[in-house]
Structure 1
Amino acid sequence: MTLDDRKLMTAHGHADGQVLVRELSSADRDALRTHFLALANDDRLLRFGQTASDAVIEAYVAGIDFERDTVFGVYGDALQLIGVGHLGYLNTDGEKRTAEFGVSVLAEGRGKGIGSALFERAAMRGRNTGVTTLYMHCLSRNATMMHIATKAGMKIHREYGEADAYLTLPPADSVSFLTEMRQEQAALFDYFIKRHARQAGNLLGSILPRPAAA
């Protein structure tokens, strides 16, 4: 099923409480490590298909190739990564190009549309980079991934407690490129505002006298 263009064109602004999704780079590797290490064991199982140890997560983060894949994040007010989406490009088969999407959201960020926002941004990037099929693999009990897949109208195949979901992406056009550019600009602006506020808060805290101990 083809993803509705209206879903791909959804802009996530800040003023109306929607989610802003920013593209990450190698400079965000420490924040990514902190995010994944903060996942509880069951959340690690749902994200990685195994109860990944800290060492496995460290290796995963260190091995992310930002030149090949695209990683997106949603930052909280304290500049913590609340949600992360990883768009990994798979082998090209003729004119067909497939990318796999994986997502994780910290407990405090669930129920706010963060997972769906990350998926929509990844779908937009996939569309704009010639991806024809967006693929997700997860455990069938992964309610977040199943909700995202169902909402997007993906074809879902369930077997032996696991699920594979597929979505055909429409070709890119001028609207899809412009929409992604605007989304990234809004997310970058929001990030810099949050970073400035945090730096100002830290500076103020270092200047103000601390209360005397009782």
Structure 2
Amino acid sequence: MNWFASLAGTAARPAVLVKALGKRDRRRMLRHFLALDDADRLLRFGTVLPDEQIHAYVEKIDFSRDIVFGVVSRVFQLVGVGHLAFAAREAVKPGATVKPRVAEFGVSVSKSARGQGVGSRLFERAAIHCRNSDIDTLYMQCLSTNRTMMHIAKKAGMQIKREYGEADAYLHLPPPSPGSVMREAVEEQFALIDYTVKANARAAVKWFTPRKRSE
């Protein structure tokens, strides 16, 4: 099975669950990014962003325009975040050719979750969402020394252009299919259930802990 075919795939429950995040997850996202050390911030943002710029970045994320995906741990902490930013389709005159619509993807994974396929799953989820949204091209920019992203890009068959220590990777996507639409819907449902269970468990722990201390 080739990589494009796997974007449709089956509706089986994936090992790593990826959920679309929203405004209520902004604080968790901030904690995730602030926990990245200088080396990881460099790989994620292309520069070592100071804390105040990370605060500004998280606050400026427009959830009505972009899509942010996350992977939560057993203790309801974000251990992987993928930001899918869309370039607006340019207005064209009637009869003119519509320019391709492009989405840019950036991903970060906590050290505690490395080697579990979190980055690859975030990329796969972003790719299938782009496909189902009629996005023509998925784009990633990263340092050439980012071995994890280079591995993901090569595995996906992306076209990679290296220049001045940076790499631009492009993946041209096929149109959506009933299978790809079904897969995304089912995976989001699995992830939503998992997210809700972990959130409730976390809330229960917080609720009972003060009681125990007062006894």
Q: TM-score scaled to structure 1, two decimals?
A: 0.90
- SS for the counterpart of 1:82 is strand
Superposed, 1:106-185 pairs within 5 Å as 106-185=110-189
Q: CA shift at 1:81, angstroms?
A: 0.5
Structure 1: gaps spanning 5 or more residues = none
Give the alignment partner of residue 33 of structure 1, picking from 30, 35, 40.
30
- Asked if 2 retains the 8 angstrom alpha-carbon contact of 1:90 and 1:98, the reply is yes
Structure 2: gaps spanning 5 or more residues = 91-97
Matched with 2:93 is: none
Matched with 1:65 is: 62
Separation (CA, whole Å) in 1 of partners of 2:11 and 2:83:
19
- Asked if 1 retains the 8 angstrom alpha-carbon contact of 2:105 and 2:126, the reply is yes
Matched with 2:109 is: 105
Q: Deviations over 1:115-134 (max 9, x none)?
A: 00000000011111110110
Separation (CA, whole Å) in 1 of partners of 2:182 and 2:74:
27
Give the alignment partner of residue 80 of structure 2, picking from 79, 83, 93.
83
Separation (CA, whole Å) in 2 of partners of 1:69 and 1:30:
17
- SS for the counterpart of 1:92 is coil
Matched with 2:5 is: 5
- Asked if 2 retains the 8 angstrom alpha-carbon contact of 1:97 and 1:132, the reply is yes
Identity %: 51
Change (3 A) 1:91 1:200: closer
Matched with 2:198 is: 194
Q: CA shift at 1:175, angstroms?
A: 1.4
What is the RMSD of the two structures over their aligned residues, measured on CA atoms?
1.9
Separation (CA, whole Å) in 2 of partners of 1:74 and 1:90:
24
- SS for the counterpart of 1:167 is strand
Q: CA shift at 1:13, angstroms?
A: 2.9
Q: Deviations over 1:53-110 (max 9, x none)?
A: 0011011000001111100000111111100001111143615111000000011111
Separation (CA, whole Å) in 1 of partners of 2:25 and 2:8:
25
- SS for the counterpart of 1:164 is strand
Greater than 2 Å deviation, 4+ residue runs: 7-14, 199-211
Separation (CA, whole Å) in 1 of partners of 2:30 and 2:12:
25
- SS for the counterpart of 1:96 is coil
- What letter corresponds to residue 191 of structure 2 in structure 1? A
- SS for the counterpart of 1:13 is coil
Change (3 A) 1:209 1:69: closer
